[in-house]
């Protein structure tokens, strides 16, 4: 099985602009990517990062500047009859156990849905299946699988369902994460805030650091 992790290092996570500035968003996205790659590697699989720009990272990388849907469909076509797993790079809460369930479920198409109707991870074993990540892609991928006569299975997993896109998602990561991304947030001064019975996030002032210290916090 090939395991592909799409990643855009150029302008990631724009919906976090109210909490993180552009440079911070790039560093945070890299930290989440490291969490995802670590979790995949712990299952015994070897991930390939499908990146829209040159990326200096300790993993196999394939450069593809096309939009997400086109790039993933090219990877599916290139794979032929080889099964392909696609795992999004912002699943910072993913665990080896959750990913193993995804990889080991034997239907033609295995889908892990995200909050809001997206598809956070999938496995494609049918050679005619193609993705479409626009809108409610989870529903659309079921329809595509039906159209090509592929059997489908669903993975109901909080760990795979929680993609980090919105400021409120950061609270989930701080509550339940202990990897690179959660540690990066804490180092950057992002903290849990309890208001009116709800948990959100805020930022604390942090000491000015040198470039070397800032880079070390990303490791």
The tens digit of pLDDT for each residue in 87-99 reads 999 999 999 999 9
Torsions phi, psi for 186 (to 5 deg)? -65, -40
The pLDDT assigned to 213 comes to 46
Has domain 2-161 been given CATH number 3.10.20.90?
no
Best CA proximity match to 137, nearest among 6, 3, 29? 6
User: What share of the chain has pLDDT > 90, as a percent?
Assistant: 87
What does the alpha-carbon distance between residue 95 and residue 194 come to, in Å, rounded to a whole number?
Answer: 27
Query: Do residues 6 and 88 make contact, with C-beta atoms less than 8 angstroms apart?
Result: yes
Number of Cβ within a 10 Å radius of residue 140:
16
Q: What are the extents of the domains in the chain? A: 2-161, 167-218
The two beta strands, 84-87 and 109-113, are unpaired
For residue 218, give both structure tokens. 């990303």
- Looking at the predicted structure, is the pLDDT value of residue 211 above 90? no
pLDDT value, residue 29: 98
Evaluate if residue 193 carries a pLDDT over 90.
yes
């Amino acid at each position: 099985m090939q395991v592909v992790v799409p990643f855009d290092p150029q302008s990631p996570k724009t919906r976090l602009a109210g909490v993180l500035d552009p440079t911070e968003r790039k560093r945070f996205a890299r930290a989440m990517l490291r969490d995802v790659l670590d979790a995949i590697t712990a299952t015994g699989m070897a991930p390939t990062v499908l990146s829209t720009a040159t990326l200096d990272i300790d993993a196999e990388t394939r450069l593809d500047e096309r939009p997400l849907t086109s790039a993933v469909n090219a990877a599916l076509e290139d794979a032929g009859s080889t099964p392909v797993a696609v795992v999004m790079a912002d699943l910072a809460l993913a665990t080896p156990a959750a990913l193993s369930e995804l990889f080991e479920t034997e239907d033609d198409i295995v889908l892990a849905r995200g909050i809001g109707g997206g598809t956070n991870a999938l496995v494609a074993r049918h050679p005619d299946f193609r993705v479409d990540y626009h809108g409610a892609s989870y529903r659309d991928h079921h329809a595509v699988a039906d159209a090509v006569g592929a059997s489908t299975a669903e993975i109901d997993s909080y760990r795979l369902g929680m993609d980090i896109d919105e400021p409120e998602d950061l609270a989930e990561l701080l509550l339940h994460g202990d990897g690179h991304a959660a540690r990066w947030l804490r180092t950057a001064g992002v903290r849990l805030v309890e208001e009116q019975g709800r948990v959100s996030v805020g930022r604390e002032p942090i000491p000015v650091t040198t470039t070397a210290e800032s880079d070390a916090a990303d490791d």
